[in-house]
Structure 1
Amino acid sequence: MNTSLSHLPEEQLEDLKTSSQGGLNFRPYLRIFLRKAWLIAGLTTLTTFAGGIISSLDPYTYTGNFYLLVEPITSSAKLTNPSTLARTDGQPDESLFELDYPTNQVFLQSPGMTLKIAQEVHQKVLTREVPAIWKDLRENLKVTRASLPGPASRSGVTKIFEVSYTGKSPQEVQQILSTAAATFLKYSSEDRETNIKAGVKFIDSQLPDLQERLKNLRTQQKQIRQQNELVDPLPKNNEVLTQITQLQNQQFDIETQLKGKKHLSNILQEQLKLTPNEALASATLSQDPSRVSLLSQLQELDSQIAIASATYTIESPQIQDLKDKRENIVNLLNQKTQEILGKNSLFIASDSAALGFQDPTRLNLIGQLLQTNNEIQVLETQLPAIKEARQTIEKEAQRYPVLINQYSDIQTQINLAEEILNKLLVQRETLKVESAQDLPWQLISKPQIPLDENGKPIGFPPDRKKKVLAGVMGGLLLGMGLAILWEKRQNIFHAAEDIAETLSLPILGDIPKDGRTGFSSDITVKPKPAQEISNLPPNYLQENVNYEKPNHLEESYFLEAFEKLYTQLYLVASSKISSLIISSVEPKDGQSKIALYLAISAANSGKKVLLVDTNWTRPKLHELLDVPNQKGLIQLLRDRVPSNEIIQDVPNIDNLFILTAGNPEENCTKRLWSPQMENLMEEFSRNYDLVIYDTPNFFETSDIKFMTKKTDGILMVIALKKTPQSLAKKAVKEIKDINLPCLGVVANHLQ
């Protein structure tokens, strides 16, 4: 019997669905974090305290700046700027001579510029190496375009660069800012002027060669025109190429149509099973009324023969008379066919499909085939003429390639040379005009660090919040990681929810700790009658169970758990349970006590219950019930005595019977599973309402698997904070692999 989950409470069904799906399930981790909250809180406190200590050691930082005016401020200064004359032909256009601010900002902070500043600073301050200074400059030197709180001019920003630097030493900050200011001013004057003069010199060196090359190209072009008596061969070449293209297109269209028509002809021939000649013959034969009439008579006779054959024998006069008539019609049909074919000079094979009756659909397809073949002949006639005309034009075009290529190459080189020459001349004049201007950047605010009323640099305390927050987050992550690793290393189940999500099996019972001093048969939990269990609603276990509470609350919870376990068994089962196996993956997981109290709960409900102890190596049930164990299952299998002589009544508990394991000291050569054991299990199922087998541990013997196949299922007992998860997973995997019926799991809280 396989487990059915349709009657489980909604909470357990939801848990099983969540655990079986492929999505993330954070609830196991949340339970781990709650259990190890002390560890996470302790580590978080330590790392937060460490972050606070480290942040308190961070030094103060100092920030200084200076300002550079990089463009003329007034309109008159713009108009007198030589760049205006060079770039705008005397017409002021701000967009043409405006400074490229983003590019200059990136350049001033570039590795090359900051390296120059670092080298200059190192020469003045020998205590730090160039790489260290360079690294700080790349990180802390900022160049921004200064802006005012209100809109400045029309763009809302100024024409001033603000250069700032932040460091831990006020002297170093001042030194770096002073060096950066001197380097930027030098770039705006000397280096910029040097670059302009180098550009003019380069252009002057390129002009003579370019002019000489342009002169030679024009001479070559003139010679080609004179030798070939052409003004420009390009238009003629284009005209010839256009004609060739048109003929190519016509040839392509005809070839495409011809290919399509031939394909259509092949399809029609395949469908009709006729060649074009046979199709012509078929069409000619189908147009003769007398032959069509003979074909109709022949079809009518075939139908009459078929009908008569169902009534008469082949030798009957009726059948023979019809066959004689058919033969006469066939002879007349053949004579008429030969007459028509001879008249039209047509010849086809005697077994050709063209001789048969052609219905309207086939006649339509035959007409299409004939029309398609006629169109193919027309296209095949046009194609040679097109090819011949194309060959003639291509032969004429062969006179021009070399001439046209030479002329085009020379003209392209002339155009390119003229364009480059004109650009170089214009650029040379522009650079000469700009080289005359004397408007470098201006330092409008010297490098300085803000000072307090005592004249000391104002420093800014470090941002301790980030390190403290990093300590908090680091402690939380470290604590959670260690908590997960700790529990994974423990390899045990801490709660019933862990079992359900790890094994993907329903939890049928969550047995609390047994706080009693010893076993007592006085079980006051009174479940509902067995006949009502199958009619219980799915949410029955979430409601109050009808029982009388014992005097001790802890005992009440313990006994109530078995009443719920018994009820769950009938809710989870798809049919009546008559026998089940109770096992565990390790010794001392409490499976024998689970089996005993489950049997008592079932007996109290009115069931006739047999409890069988099959654990020969470690029998436990006789000790719990204080019954003799001299004779039991071992003797029943060995001596083959009647079972009622061995089975005992349990004292003080009605409807409960026990078959102990027997004396384990006696020599027993038989295995637990045997044909006799199978017969006994069938006998027990007939004589008792419920048979519960307390078996050895799951991995102790393979006999458990054979026994499970003969019962309604196995109930696995998992001891919380004891049973290894790896063994439990291995057992469940083996149960699923060999398709054993599994009822579910019982979570057992040991002492």
Structure 2
Amino acid sequence: MDRQPDSLPKLTETNGKSPYPPLQNPSSTDAEEEKWDLGWLVAVTRRRGLLMAGVVVGTTLLAGGLFLFLTRFTRPQYEGEFQLLVEPITAEEQLARSSTRAQGADVDLQRINIEQSSLDYESQIRILKSPKLLEPVVSKVRQKYPDITYENLIKSLKIARITSLSSDKKELGTKLIEVRYQDTDPEKVKFILDKLSQAYLNYSLKERQSTIRRGIQFIDSQLPPLRQRVDSLQQQIQTLRQRYNISDPEQQGKQLIETTGRLDQVAADNQSRLAEAEAKRDALAQQLQNANPQTVLGTQATSSDNTSYYQTLLNQYQQVQAQIALESSRLQPEHPAMKELMEKRKNLQNLLKQEASRVIGTATDSVSIAQARSQAVNQAQAEINQRIRQLSTITRQYTDLQRELLLATDSLNKFASRREALQIDAAQQEIPWELTIPPRLEADGSGQPMKVNSVSKVRFLALIFVLAVLLGVGVGFLVEITQDLLYSTDDVKRSTKLPLLGVIPHNKFQFPEVSISVKEAFRSIAKNLRLLSKNHAPLRSLTITSAEEGDGKSTIALKLAITAAAMGQKVLLVDADLRHPKIHELLDLPKQPGFSNLLQSDQDIKNLLQLPPNYTNLMVLTAGNSSLDLAELFTTNRVESLFQKLHAMFDLVIFDTPPLLRLADSGLVAAQCDSLALVVRLGKTSRPSILATLEELKFSSTAVLGMIVNDAPETASSIQSYYHLTRKS
């Protein structure tokens, strides 16, 4: 915990704050923290040194012995290698070998990307390790080395793609495959690598030729259907042309459209002529009906190019009409000459009527001719439109056939071109893989085969020792962290951030016998308490407790009470641990009646106090009936007055209470006391328990004076009290 509680009960003169000075500097410097960390490391190393050393020695002996044993029976291994270039590295080579992908002779050299790989290296390496490819090699090698099998060959065979690092530290794959083989016989390694290299080159050649043959066979199987398709489409086009008597549907369509335009113009002109002829016929008929024939003939004579006959008749009629008018003035109608003239006029009138009728008939014939011409034009237009509609269907069929013919012809040409390229490539019989590094053995500077499994024993043993040291240190600190106990006063100060009231050395004697260092330690604690009471508010009562059972709080409470009494104070020791009381056992006193009886009923305190033999100024109040619940006893109203009486009767009242962790008893007693001291046993008290205890005390009103360290290896003379230093300063 980082700070002390801010208040103590029963001390009204302090305005609710603790009357005691700060027990430590709340701000720790970086140098102190670093010193504590280094001290903890040294302490852990000292405590776990034997374990660490045992792990180091055991690991070194075990691993080193195993290494020496294995190296003694390990036969030397030799390794050889060869490298294969499995893809072209230049654009020219890639173009030369591109026929395996049936690109033909029209491959654009500028479009070849030599950085990209078309080979699946992982699959290719698996093929190179497959039994189908290696079994023939094993059969050849077995003739010289009968013990060779596919299984032991593949165990010692390593095939991998060679990689490189780019400028930006990225791993890039090359077009090289490296093949390595290990064995105890260098000649065997060289022999097997020779057979493997030859087998892989033969495989590449066979695979290439097989690929080319499969390509040619596929193309040969596709060419006849393509030719038949082309011929069939050409025949369909020819049949379509012959059936509809067309050579080019598109051109013929243009001609029909032009003819349609001309017919439309003719139809328009004929329609105008028909209307004109009908109008003329109707006009002449109306004139013949409403007037005399002369008017009709006069109109016809003025509008016709052949006017001689019409004019002659009109002239004769006019002459006869004039003679009749002239002779009528002197001749009678019965006169023969007049009758002759009248007869002649009548004949001329009949001729004029006949001619007028003929003229009207001619106009009617013109109308009929115009109508017939319109019908002919309309029929021609209908026929042209029918042909146009028919031609659109024919054109669509013709276009579809032409497109299919173009695609089929293009496919036929491409297959023929690729077949020619494959035949040229097969004739070249080019091996696509090349040996960039022939089979060879790893050799030293003198050219002798080099052992690949030779290891420097000194270096390896040194490495084993270093690893053993690291393992030993790790095991030691792991055990330390797992147990997480407090082992030194520095651990206590670093974990609790509280001062040490005193450090009790380990006592090898049984109570009541103690060593001199233990006596001095308790005198130092008692002196600190007296100095605290002298310089500040009187310390009348003190709770001695611990976080866990077995930390020695009861013994420390008893010895502190004895020491304070020996130094002249009137001291009362109260055994408030009703769960596991021990004070009466240590002093050989009766347990009942005691503290629980005093809380339970109004009894005289003096009747319950016991005076232990051989001790002055010391009175003891034992636990009493331990079956009672202390929490229930503290609910009575007499508790506060009881503690006031005890404070008035004694200079110092020390309470031995149960452990604080997960129990309410100690908190109830401590709340009635001036302060509390927490006992820690080194090597036994765990850090989590003491931190949990301090966390619980944050929520109480009890002031924690500090820590009392029990069972410490240090002597009391090595501990300088905080209060002693404060007084000197």
* TM-score in terms of structure 1 length: 0.50
| Residue 46, structure 1, aligned to residue 48, structure 2 | no
1:592 maps to 554
Equivalent position to 1:462, from 445, 454, 462? 454
Give the whole-Å Cα distance in 1 for the aligned partners of 2:513 and 2:29. Answer: 34
CA distance in 2, matches of 1:509, 1:412: 108
- Aligned residue for 1:65, secondary structure, equals strand
The alpha carbon displacement at 1:182 in A equals: 1.5
SS of the aligned residue for 1:749 comes to strand
State the alpha-carbon separation in 1 of the partners of residues 593 and 583 from structure 2: 13
Deviation at 1:437, TM superposition (A): 1.6
Quote how far apart the aligned CAs of 1:184 are: 1.8
| Correspondence for 2:147 | 127
In the other structure, the counterpart of 2:710 is 748
Distance 1:121 1:566 in 2: 98
Distance, in Å, in 2 between the alignment partners of 1:564 and 1:192 is 99
Q: Indicate the SS of the match to 1:660.
A: strand
* Corresponding residue SS for 1:434: helix
1:582 partnered with 2:544: yes
CA deviation after TM superposition for structure 1 residue 62, in Å: 0.9
C-alpha change, 1:742 and 1:110, in structure 2 (3 Å) is farther
Contact 1:78 1:84 in 2 (8 A): no
- Does 2:499 align with 1:494? no
Counterpart residue identity of residue 660, structure 1: V
Kept in 2, the 8 Å contact 1:581–1:714? The answer is yes
User: Aligned-pair distance for 1:681?
Assistant: 1.8
Q: Tell me the CA shift for residue 47 of structure 1.
A: 2.2
Native 8 Å contact 1:144 1:161 kept in 2: yes
Residues 671, 47 of structure 1: alpha-carbon distance in 2 compared, 3 angstrom cutoff? closer
Change (3 A) 1:619 1:7: closer
Counterparts of 2:164 and 2:437 in 1: how far apart (Å)? Answer: 12
Maintained 8 Å contact 2:671/2:700: no
Bigger drift between 505-514 and 407-416 goes to: 407-416
**Can you list the C-alpha shifts for 1:297-344, whole angstroms capped at 9, x where unaligned?**
xxxxxxxxxxxxxxxxxxxxxxxxxxxxxxxxxxxxxxxxxxxxxxxx
- Partner secondary structure for residue 680 of structure 2: strand
Deviation sequence 1:519-578 (CA, Å, 0-9, x none): 9999xxxxxxxxxxxxxxxxxxxxxxxxxxxx977865665467678999999x9x9976
Structure 2 counterpart of 1:4, which letter? P
Match of 1:205 among 209, 216, 221: 221
- Corresponding residue of 1:136: 156
Quote how far apart the aligned CAs of 1:226 are: 9.1
Contact 2:578–2:626 (Cα < 8 Å) also in 1: no
CA deviation map 1:623-671 (0-9, x unaligned) = 9899999986477558855546766899999xx964402496xx78866
- Are the structure 2 counterparts of residues 204 and 115 from structure 1 closer, same or farther at C-alpha, using a change threshold of 3 Å? same
Query: For the residues of structure 2 that align with 1:578 and 1:661, how far apart are their CA atoms?
Result: 16
- Select 1:447's aligned residue among 424, 436, 439: 439
CA distance in 2, matches of 1:415, 1:641: 127
Q: Residue 214 and residue 205 in structure 1: after superposition, are their counterparts in 2 closer, same or farther (change >3 A)?
A: same
Which amino acid is the alignment partner of residue 202 of structure 1?
A: F
Equivalent residues of 2:103, 2:418 under 8 A apart: no
1:37 maps to which of 49, 52, 58: 49
Separation (CA, whole Å) in 2 of partners of 1:417 and 1:569? 117
Q: 1:496·1:510 contact (CA, 8 Å) conserved in 2?
A: no
Q: Say which SS state the counterpart of residue 127 (structure 1) adopts.
A: coil
Q: Please list every run of 5 or more consecutive structure 2 residues that lacks an aligned counterpart in the other structure.
A: 7-21, 166-172, 242-247, 255-396, 714-729
2:20 is equivalent to residue 4 of structure 1 = no
Alignment partner of 1:431 out of 422, 434, 441:
422
CA contact 2:593–2:608 (8 Å) conserved in 1: yes
Distance 2:217 2:681 in 1: 93
Partner SS state of residue 721, structure 1: coil
Cross-structure match for 2:621: 661
CA contact (8 A) 1:608 1:690 kept: yes
Whole-Å separation in 1 of the counterparts to 2:488 and 2:410: 85
Q: Is the 8 A contact 2:545 2:679 kept in 1?
A: yes
Does the 8 A contact of 1:513 with 1:558 survive in 2? no
What per-residue deviation string (whole Å, max 9, x for no partner) do you get for residues 200-228 of structure 1?
322343455567779999999x99x999x
| TM-score using structure 2 length | 0.51
SS at match of 1:189: helix
Query: Within 5 A, what are the aligned runs for 1:235-250?
Result: none
In structure 2, distance between residues paired with 1:80 and 1:622: 107
1:467-493 residue CA offsets vs partner (Å, 9 max, x unmatched)? 657745764565456546756887854
Contact 1:59/1:462, CA 8 A, preserved across alignment: no
| C-alpha RMSD of the superposition | 6.7
Tell me the amino acid that sits aligned with residue 195 of structure 1: T
CA distance in 2, matches of 1:412, 1:606: 127
Asked whether the 8 Å contact 1:614–1:693 carries over to 2, the reply is yes
Which residue number corresponds to residue 679 of structure 2? 717
Whole-Å separation in 2 of the counterparts to 1:560 and 1:663: 28
Cα separation, partners in 2 of 1:617 and 1:425, compared to 1, 3 Å? same
Which residue of structure 1 lines up, in the alignment, with residue 212 of structure 2? 196
Match of 1:9, SS? Answer: coil
Amino acid at match of 1:119: E
Show CA shifts across 1:428-472 (max 9, x none): 443333222233255587534367899974423434579657745
- Residues of 1 paired with 2:401 and 2:672: CA distance? 100
**1:122-149 deviation line (CA, Å, top 9, x unaligned):** 4334535534432432xx34565999xx
Whether 2:53 is the aligned partner of 1:61: answer no
- The aligned counterpart of 1:266 is none
Q: In structure 1, how many angstroms separate the alpha carbons of the residues matched to 2:402 and 2:567?
A: 112
Match of 2:657 in 1: 695
8 A contact 1:51–1:467 mirrored in 2: no
Counterpart Cα distance in 1 of 2:400 and 2:522: 103
Q: How many pairs does the alignment contain?
A: 519
Contact 2:81/2:181 (8 A) holds in 1: yes
Q: What do residues 704-732 of structure 1 show as CA deviations (whole Å, max 9, x unaligned)?
A: 34323434565442322345778768867
The whole-number CA distance in structure 2 between the counterparts of 1:746 and 1:679 is 30
What is the distance in 2 between the residues matched to 1:411 and 1:728?
Answer: 99
User: In structure 1, what residue type is equivalent to 2:423?
Assistant: K
Counterpart amino acid of residue 620 in structure 2: T
Establish whether residue 684 from structure 1 lines up as the match of residue 677 from structure 2.
Answer: no
CA distance in 2, matches of 1:472, 1:598: 51
Unaligned stretches of 5+ in structure 1?
19-24, 148-156, 232-405, 523-550
SS in 1 for 2:153: helix
AA matched with 1:683: K
1:34-433 maps to which residues of 2 (within 5 A)?
34-56=46-68, 57=71, 58-66=74-82, 96=112, 103=119, 109-113=125-129, 115-116=131-132, 118-123=134-139, 124-125=141-142, 127=147, 129-137=149-157, 140-142=158-160, 144=162, 163-207=179-223, 209=225, 427-433=418-424
Separation in 1 of the partners of 2:147 and 2:601? 101
Aligned counterparts of 2:130 and 2:191: Cα–Cα separation in 1: 14
8 A contact 1:142–1:165 mirrored in 2? no
Please state how far the C-alpha of 1:195 moved relative to its aligned partner: 1.2
> For 1:166, what is the secondary structure of its paired residue?
strand
Distance 1:430 1:476, change over 3 A: farther
Change (3 A) 1:599 1:35: same
